[in-house]
A = this chain, B = another copy of it.
Amino acid sequence: MSSSLLVIGTVAFDNLETPFGKADMVVGGAATYAGLSASYFTPYTSIVSVVGEDFPQSFINTFREHKINTEGLQIKKGEKSFFWAGKYHIDMNTRDTLDTQLNVLADFDPVVPENLRSSEYLLLGNLMPKLQLRVLEQMAVRPKLVVMDTMNFWMETALDDLKLVLKQVDVLTINDEEARLLSGEYSLVKAAKKIMNMGPQYLIIKKGENGALLFRDNKVFFAPALPLEDVFDPTGAGDSFAGGFIGYMAATDDISFENMRRAIIYGSAMASFTVEKFGTERLVNIKEDEVATRIQSFVNLMQVDMELN
């Protein structure tokens, strides 16, 4: 029996440019990718976010087709949705931000609908730490598991707020550069120790095509990324990862370290779909047996029998 999952984050328009092509005004944002990704695991996924009047009803229908509850998605009349334009280089690990227009995000005050305030799983997707705090405050019951995603921008501009959120979350997901920035340590092992001292009991360090590390006390688990012929567009990979991770956790309702190891493989599998096409094009169209087949690819990739022969 799946548990309820609440996802907050942006819902936005993106202009994307990669070595494989360009796409303009595609729907993106952290809550979009994370919510869609989670929806493959739990039918009780809700999003809290904000868009402008320009946001297409067709995409709200897409959310609903994925059984995502959009009660908490504010639609601001006469305003425009958050907009981001970025360009990726051949290595896909670095990107240039070409344009950012906050629009509705500038004065967004997230409101968690009454009936979602006792959601059992909470994903604080990448957003201003102040807004992540605002959502935490509104929860009637402390969720079983709170996962926080954030980025270097907030470390540079809102570190104090970010540290307040950190104290209240169970799992933090950031990339390797962000782990170094937040901790001041180059070694990821040292960085992980410092960051876990800031609050979260678990730390996931995402390394893109080089996989992800899950830290807990002195234990560490490594999940590889699936080697792909081409990474078409990495936008949303991290959000799809976080959504798949917490979606699987909510679906299985087991917050053990062992289950988190599995959840990371599911998160990685969802990210591997997202990067196959532009924007959410692939993520909105995954068949159930494709998830199972992809998971099997990960099992094959990691399979080794270390019994001595």
Point out residues on A near B: beta carbons under 8 Å: 90-91, 186-190, 207, 210-211, 213, 219-224, 227-231, 252, 254, 258-259, 261-262, 265, 295, 298-306, 309
Contact = CB atoms under 8 A, between A and B. Distances in A.
Contacts of A229: 187, 189-190
A224 B227 CA distance: 13
A299 B221 CA distance: 10
Nearest to A292: B308
Between A259, A299, A303, the greatest number of chain B beta carbons within 10 A of the residue's beta carbon is seen for: A303
Contacts of A295: 306
Contacts of A213: 227
Contact of A304 (B228, B231, B262, B300): B262
Given A219-B300, A302-B222, A304-B221, A259 B227 contact: no
Contacts of A262: 304-306, 309
Given A210-B211, A309-B259, A228 B187 contact: yes
B221 A187 contact: no
A309 B309 CA distance: 30
Contacts of A298: 306
Between A210, A211, A304, the greatest number of chain B beta carbons within 10 A of the residue's beta carbon is seen for: A304
Between A227, A262, A300, the greatest number of chain B beta carbons within 10 A of the residue's beta carbon is seen for: A227
Nearest to A186: B90
B304 A189 contact: no
6 contacts: A189-B227, A211-B222, A219-B300, A222-B301, A223-B304, A262-B304
A204 to B, nearest CB: 13
A206 to B, nearest CB: 12
